[in-house]
Chains A and B, each alone.
Chain A
Amino acid sequence: MGLRSVVAVGCLVCLAGVASTAEARPASKGIFTEAGVGATAFIRKRKSASIGPTLTLRGGYDVFSWFSLAAFAGASSHEATVPAPPEGEWFQLYRGGADARLGFRVKSVAAFAEGGIGGAYISSNVLQKVGLTDPGEHFSIAFHAGGGLEYQILNRHYAFGLAGDWSLMPQLDAQTNLEIRAYIRYTY
């Protein structure tokens, strides 16, 4: 474990300690929905696709104040930057699945870690040229893991957040992506 990992774990432990003593801002708990916008970047074969806009939706249930389960769907759009031809062509990456989120809140700010499994669908075979898809292949299992920070406003139903997720799609040539998004959450 590197020095950075030790520092990160130490910070989390400290924050957890503070969380146990600080009084969290009142927030609804139960069924929630989230809508986020952001950007997704290809990490593997990053030269083959541009960073693209992302739209993500999530709906789930807070089992406890520190643990929730959710289903999600997302789409991102990218320009293929493979050697021409073709040139200037765009494709979409759709993802959906289920995930779990662990977190805690200190006053109005919450931190969380999340991870899940689902599926991914790539809309065209334009990246076949660089081996990302095989002939006739569009689907892959997708795993993702990430975390974020969330700000609870005075209205107990609403919160805003910033999250990042790393995802892995084994059937799409083990492509890995990084998604960063800002979101709004409504808890019923």
Chain B
Amino acid sequence: MQHRGLLLVTFGALGAAGCTQDPVYVPAPDQIEVDPENPLDPENPNLATATMDLPYDLAYLTEDAAYLRDRVDRLRAINAALEAASQAPLADDQYPLVRLDQLEIEIEWAIENLSDDPGQARIHVNGANPYFSYVPANFIVPAAPGDEEDPPPPPLSGDIPIDVAGRQVLTGVFREDQLREAAIDLEIVTRGGVNPFAAMLSIHEDIENVLDVPYIPVDPENPMPPTLSLPIDAFAHFVRFDLSFVADQHMVLTYTIRVRETEPLLHDELLDAPAAELMLFMPAEYVPPGLMPPA
């Protein structure tokens, strides 16, 4: 009997280990290269950018009966709580197809300095959820005549100076908690309407609703406080990453996105899947009300 128990426990442990959220690695289709001496864009010789859509499975998100039923049930529960608090319920299209609580995302990167000289690099992580993309330049408030223009707000994550010796390869990671915070900030800035400087400088891992964040307008001359009560359970996660790589020497950035998902949201074949089987999100480029996007 003791041996049977031991056997059951051991097989149970093996089974449990097999059921944890195994990560999926989505390799970037291309590396990002900056060569200040031979720049692709002479106006920005130290900058290169890349965009990567996460390969969400169209059939699962739009046709899987259990997933859609669960989505309806969750939205109903959220709306019941909102109505109990005398707040407006969410419409179906305000409840994201890809939620914050369904994924843990990490970006692993490696920078190789191809020159003999030491240099400095920065990685800016921006991106989009199903609703909006974040473009820092869109938040620059036009300066009054004679005044100096404000700098753009920080990226959703990154912008840390990284010293790289000549011919050195450095590796690093944007952790799951950092990208979760970035996804929360994206919602706070866009659907919450909060000033991105304020959003990026505070940690919001414990908020329950976008209304928990102190409202600081993008343009103090034109404050437009949010009216949408958006519970954390209805926050969206990233569907796209926009990476910018800034370097003062000839360097290459390679990266891989690591995803742990609670259900099979990503297509089995990842970026190798036929385009028709991938969910095509069309997030709008967010421009704060009252501001014009830069020309």
- CB <8 Å contact, B110 and A84: yes
Which 7 pairs across A and B sit closest by C-beta, in order of nearness?
A136-B268, A85-B108, A135-B269, A135-B272, A86-B108, A123-B22, A84-B110
When C-beta atoms are compared, the residue in chain B nearest to A94 turns out to be B18
Dominant secondary structure at the B interface: mixed
Contact B24 A135 (CB under 8 A): no
Given A125-B25, A126-B23, do A85 and B255 touch, yes or no (CB 8 Å)?
yes
Nearest neighbor of B254 in chain A, beta-carbon distance: A85
Which chain B residues lie closer than 8 Å to A124 at the CB level? 22-25
* CB interface residues, B 1-53, toward A, < 8 Å: 3, 6-7, 10-11, 14, 17-18, 22-25, 27
The answer, yes or no, to whether A109 is at the interface (CB within 8 Å) is no
**8 Å CB contact of B23 from A59, A73, A89, A186:** A89
A75, B12: Cα distance in complex, Å: 12
Interfacial residues, chain A to chain B (CB-CB below 8 A): 33, 35, 55, 57, 59, 73, 75, 84-87, 89, 91-92, 94, 121, 123-126, 128-129, 135-136, 186
B-to-A contact residues, CB < 8 Å: 3, 6-7, 10-11, 14, 17-18, 22-25, 27, 108-110, 169, 171, 173, 254-256, 258, 267-270, 272-273
Are B14 and A84 in contact (CB-based, < 8 A)?
no
Whose C-beta in chain A lies nearest to the C-beta of B18? Answer: A94
Give the number of residue pairs across the A-B interface with Cβ within 8 Å. Answer: 75
Contacts of B27 in A (CB 8 A): 128-129
Question: In the complex, A25→B150 CA distance in Å?
Answer: 88
Q: Are B18 and A59 in contact (CB under 8 A)?
A: no
Are B3 and A57 interface neighbours, CB within 8 A?
no
B11-A57 in contact (CB<8A): yes
Q: Among A57, A84, A136, which residue has its beta carbon within 8 angstroms of that of B10?
A: A57
Give A57 to B14 CA distance when docked, in angstroms: 10
Chain A residues with Cβ below 8 Å from B254 are 84-85
Contacts A35-B6, A35-B10, A128-B25; A84 near B18 (Cβ below 8 A): no
Assess the A59–B7 pair: CB atoms within 8 A: yes
Known: A75-B14, A125-B25. A186 touches B256 (CB 8 A): no
Chain A residue numbers with a CB within 8 Å of B10 are 35, 55, 57
Cβ–Cβ < 8 Å partners of B7 in chain A: 33, 35, 57, 59
Among A87, A89, A92, contact of B17 (Cβ-Cβ < 8 Å): A92
Q: Complex formed: what's the CA distance from A147 to B22 in Å?
A: 32
Bound-complex Cα distance A97 to B292 (A)? 64
The smallest C-beta distance from A150 to any residue of chain B, in angstroms, reads 18
| B25/A75 in contact, CB under 8 A | no
Query: Assuming A35-B6, A35-B10, what are 14 further A-B pairs, CB within 8 angstroms?
Result: A33-B3, A84-B108, A85-B171, A86-B25, A87-B110, A89-B108, A91-B22, A92-B18, A123-B18, A126-B23, A126-B25, A135-B268, A135-B272, A136-B272
What residues of B have a CB within 8 angstroms of the CB of A126 in the complex?
23, 25
Q: How far is the CA of A73 from the CA of B25 in the complex (A)?
A: 26
Tell whether, in the assembled complex, residue B24 and residue A125 are in contact, meaning their CB atoms are under 8 Å apart.
yes
A90 to chain B, nearest CB (A): 9
Contact present for A186 and B3 (CB under 8 Å): yes
Whether A85 lies near B18 (C-beta < 8 A) is no
A sample of 13 cross-chain residue pairs with beta-carbon separation below 8 angstroms, ordered by A number, consists of A35-B10, A85-B108, A85-B171, A85-B254, A92-B17, A94-B14, A123-B18, A124-B23, A124-B25, A126-B25, A135-B268, A135-B272, A136-B270
What are the residues of chain A within 8 A of B3 when measuring CB–CB? Answer: 33, 186
In the assembled complex, the Cα of A28 lies from the Cα of B139 at a distance in Å of 79
Task: Name B256's contact: one of A33, A86, A121, A135 (CB within 8 Å).
Answer: A86
Residues of A within 8 Å of B17, CB to CB, are 75, 92
Closest to B3 in A: A186
Please pick, from B18, B108, B109, B272, the residue contacting A121 in the complex, using a CB distance under 8 A: B18
> Given contacts A35-B6, A75-B18, is CB(A87)–CB(B171) below 8 Å?
yes
Which residues of chain B are within 8 angstroms of A35 by Cβ–Cβ distance? 6-7, 10
Complex CA gap A13/B14 in Å reads 39
* Chain B residues within 8 Å of A94, by CB: 14, 18
Q: How far is the CB of B258 from chain A (nearest CB, A)?
A: 6
A94 to B14 alpha-carbon distance, docked (Å): 9
